[in-house]
Each structure stands twice: as C-alpha cells, then as structure tokens.
Structure 1
C-alpha cells in the first residue's frame, strides 16, 4: 500500500515538471516574438539589399498620385485633339460635298 501511495506523487511530480518545461518554452517563444517585432526594422535591414545611389528608397505617394493625374490629363488631351481632328475632317468632307 505504501508503494501505491508514492506512485501518484511521482506521476503528479512528472506532470508538474513537464508543465513547467512547456510553460518555460511558451514564455521563451513569446519573449523572442516580442523582441523580433520590436527589432523588425533592424532585422529587415540585414536581409534587404542596399538601395542604389541614383534611386530613392521609397517613392512618395503624393508624387506618384500627381504622375497618375498628369498621365490622365495627357490622355484626355490626346483624345480631345483626335476628336477635334476627326470633327474637322468630317466638316470639310461635308462642306466639299455641298
């Protein structure tokens, strides 16, 4: 009977020890994750290529938006010129037919 009494204690102790080890591993993983999140820029700098001398590292959003708007305006101007030229040709054709 004395052997049966000590057996559950040893099982409880091994479960307790395994729980402590697992908890320590989880805490270590959480701490490492926080450290990586905080130092993300430093870590990303290691894995990224250095920017070339001539180019800017990151284009400005406002500049790219201005370029898109300018491109749209040029396309609309080009379409308007083509339309005006076509209208001029049809007018001259109509005039010559009369």
Structure 2
C-alpha cells in the first residue's frame, strides 16, 4: 500500500507540472495573439513581397554603380594612354641604323 501512495503522489506531481506547462503555453499564446492584433502591419510587412517600385529603385542603384565604374575605367584608360604617348618618341620620326 505504501507503493501505491508514492505512485499516486508522483502521478499527481507530474499532472501538476504538465498543467503548469500547458497554462504557460496558453498564456504566451494569448500574449502573442494580442501583440499580433496590435502590430498587424509590422508583422505583415515581414511576410509581404517588396513592391516593384522598391525593386526597380534597387535595380537603378546597381545600374548607376555600373555606369560610374565604367566611367572610372574609361578615365583610367585615357590617362594611361596619354602617359604612354608621352613616353614614346613621336611616330613621325624615322630612325636609321648604319652598319
């Protein structure tokens, strides 16, 4: 009979712990539900697909960056060619070697 009382007590204790867990889960769920009702727009903003206007402005940004980079490369090419022309002798002169 002593074993039955111990078993009953452990079952009772486990039942209390389970109910406490369920109670906490229910309270947290209610809190999240209330938060979701108040901040519906913030939450929906997370799950919505960005509009085409935002995507196109992002695309324009990358296109502008490509254009700027290309312009920089052309300027550097122009400066390099100018420097090379200054180092080379004029193309009009002819050099003759006599042996």
TM-score (norm 1): 0.52
The runs of at least 4 aligned residues of structure 1 exceeding 6 Å deviation read: none
Shift in alpha-carbon separation, 1:88–1:40, aligned structure 2, 3 A: farther
Equivalent residue in structure 2 for 1:87, among 78, 81, 86: 81
Distance 1:18 1:62 in 2: 61
TM-score (norm 2): 0.52
Alignment length, in residue pairs? 78
Q: Residue 50 of structure 1 corresponds to which residue in structure 2? A: none
3-state secondary structure, aligned to 2:14? helix
For 2:78 and 2:38, locate their aligned partners in 1 and report how far apart those are by CA, in whole Å.
54
Q: Which has more radius of gyration?
A: 2
More deviation, 33-42/68-77: 33-42
Q: Secondary structure at the match of 1:64?
A: helix
Q: Where do 1:36-51 residues align within 5 Å?
A: 36=32, 39=36, 42=39
Distance 2:68 2:37 in 1: 42
- Partner of residue 45, structure 2: none
